[in-house]
Amino acid sequence: MLHSYSIFRLSCIILFLPLGSVYTKDFNALCSTCRQLVDNFDKGLEKTAKQNFGGGNTEWEERKLSKYELSEIRLTEILEGLCDSSSFECNHMLEENEEHFETWWFKRKTKHPDLFKWFCIETIKVCCPKGLFGPDCNTCIGGADKPCHGNGKCDGDGTRAGNGKCSCDEGYEGEFCLDCSDGYFSALRNDTFSLCKECHESCVGCTGGTNQDCKECRNGWEKDQEGACIDINECTKDPAPCKDNQYCLNTEGSFSCKECDIRCSGCKGPGASNCLTCADGFKDEESTCTDINECTEDPALCKDNQYCLNTDGSFSCKECDTRCSGCNGPGANNCLTCADGYKDDEGTCTEENKEVAAFDSEGSQTGDSPEKHEDL
């Protein structure tokens, strides 16, 4: 048989390639390649649908050459666009089976219009119809229309590969994917159909979807008098679950500890208005802990040639500018008085010599001139 010969040759060729042995048995990959060939064939059909013999079908051409539509020229054009030059698998399958495409094109197309079915499934036998698997195209569990009862994937579905076993979707389990997994309950079920839904977040196992249907409560929940699982408020427990400078935040099934605001020393919630007491450097002002301005409260905090800088919760002493003798801020424009060798010029302490030097270089003028001011 031509077909088995092709497969045999394919195997031989591939076995001698360094990484080839994978392909020899991989019907899954062969089926994808075949599907790709057929998809591209369909694209080629579409692309050439409005074409003709270049100059348009003359009456003579239509009679003598048959129509372009059914011509070998059109087939060749389609086959040329079937594979990317880089795809070894595709080009190989095409080379091995070119005559099948010709047979189909000229002799089978009318009777077997579905090329995928005729070529991939029935002729070179690398695929199965949907819902069927394995070398002999056996039917998947649950039937070809609903493999794995619609709740999973049948191994090898649609290819000549696989063992037909179901891998079930989330929430389903068992050979037939009809049973519900842990954390799910059966909302609907008969011999061929099963719907599993997720339990309420408070449950470990359940018979229904609410917190009253739990078999047991999950950690962080407990049963109330009616048997429903309700959240435990860990924050009200004794001893308190959080550290000294943290507050406790209760959540469904759990809790978390959050750091207090830096303005607090101990707190019962977020922000400076939830402090138990204020942190050092802060004072209670209308129930909110607020920064103390040490600089204004005690003007003598810093040394003579320093100024005081208030910060959140503290302060620091900074050296005055060298042009100052005492200051209340940075730079030469915050001096209380000017240092030796400097004089006040419109609120800024300026080197006395410099003024003279600049003045000298300009000539021998005296008094204020506009030029002198521009220089400064």
Stretch touching ligand NAG by CB under 6 A, among 76-84, 183-191, 247-255, 322-330: 183-191
- 211 by Cβ neighbours in 10 Å (0-12 / 13-18 / 19+) ranks as buried
Q: Compare residues 191 and 368 and give the one whose CB is closer to ligand NAG.
A: 191
From candidates 5, 8, 106, 193, binder to ligand NAG by CB under 6 A: 193
Q: Which is nearer to ligand NAG, 180 or 279 (CB)?
A: 180
Q: How far is the CB of 142 from ligand NAG (least distance, A)?
A: 12
Using CB under 6 A, which of the segments 17-25, 30-38, 186-194, 259-267 binds ligand NAG?
186-194
- Say how many C-beta atoms besides its own lie within 10 A of residue 157's C-beta: 20
Q: How far apart are the first and last CA of the chain?
A: 104
Span from 102-110, 161-169, 185-193, 202-210 in contact with ligand NAG (CB under 6 A): 185-193
Smaller CB separation from ligand NAG, 17 or 187:
187
Based on the shown chain and the rule CB under 6 A, indicate whether residue 369 belongs to the binding site for ligand NAG. Answer: no
Distance in Å, CB of 194 to ligand NAG, minimum: 9
**Cα(33)–Cα(120) distance, rounded to whole angstroms?**
9
Region binding ligand NAG by CB under 6 A among candidate stretches 14-22, 111-119, 184-192, 200-208: 184-192
Asked if residue 267 lies in contact with residue 275, where contact means CB atoms within 8 angstroms, the answer is yes
- 74: Cα separation from own chain's centroid: 46
Using CB under 6 A, pick the residue from 59, 136, 182, 191 that binds ligand NAG.
Answer: 191
- Distance between CA atoms of 120 and 123, rounded to whole angstroms? 6
- Write the DSSP assignment of 96-161 as a string of letters: HHHHHHHHIIIIITTT---HIIIIIIIIS--B--TTEETTTTEEPTT-SSSGGGGTEEETTTTBS-
- Which amino acid does the sequence have at 295? C
Pick from 241, 247, 286: which is nearest to 268 by CA? 247
Nearer to ligand NAG, 5 or 193 (CB): 193
Smallest distance from ligand NAG to CB 38, Å = 34
For residue 363, the Cα-to-chain-centroid distance in whole angstroms is 74
Using CB under 6 A as the binding rule, whether residue 190 contacts ligand NAG is answered as yes
Residue 3 vs 189, nearer CB to ligand NAG: 189
CB of 251 to ligand NAG, least distance (A): 38
Applying CB under 6 A, does 233 fall inside the site for ligand NAG?
Answer: no
Among 76, 192, 328, 369, contact with ligand NAG (rule: CB under 6 A):
192
What is the smallest separation between the CB atom of 189 and ligand NAG, expressed in angstroms? 8
Instruction: Out of 1, 19, 188, 300, point to the residue binding ligand NAG (CB under 6 A).
Output: 188
Considering the complex, state which of residue 1 and residue 188 has its C-beta at the smaller distance from ligand NAG: 188
**Is residue 143 a contact residue for ligand NAG (CB under 6 A)?**
no
Return left, alpha or beta for 162; rule: phi > 0 is left, psi -120 to 50 is alpha, else beta: left
Q: What's the rounded Cα separation, in Å, for the pair 183 and 177?
A: 15
Q: How far is the CB of 138 from ligand NAG (least distance, A)?
A: 23
**Is residue 295 within 8 Å of 315, Cβ to Cβ?**
yes
E strand or H helix that includes residue 257: strand 254-259
Query: Closest Cα partner for 229 from 243, 212, 246, 241?
Result: 212
Residue count, binding to ligand NAG (CB under 6 A) = 5
Question: Is 1 a binder of ligand NAG (CB under 6 A)?
Answer: no
Closest separation in Å from C-beta 145 to ligand NAG: 12
Q: Does 49 bind ligand NAG (CB under 6 A)?
A: no
- Considering the rule CB under 6 A, would residue 251 count as an interface residue with ligand NAG? no
Measured distance CA(112)–CA(362) in Å, rounded: 106
Q: Taking the CA atoms of the chain, what radius of gyration do you get in angstroms?
A: 44
Binding site for ligand NAG (CB under 6 A): 188, 190-193
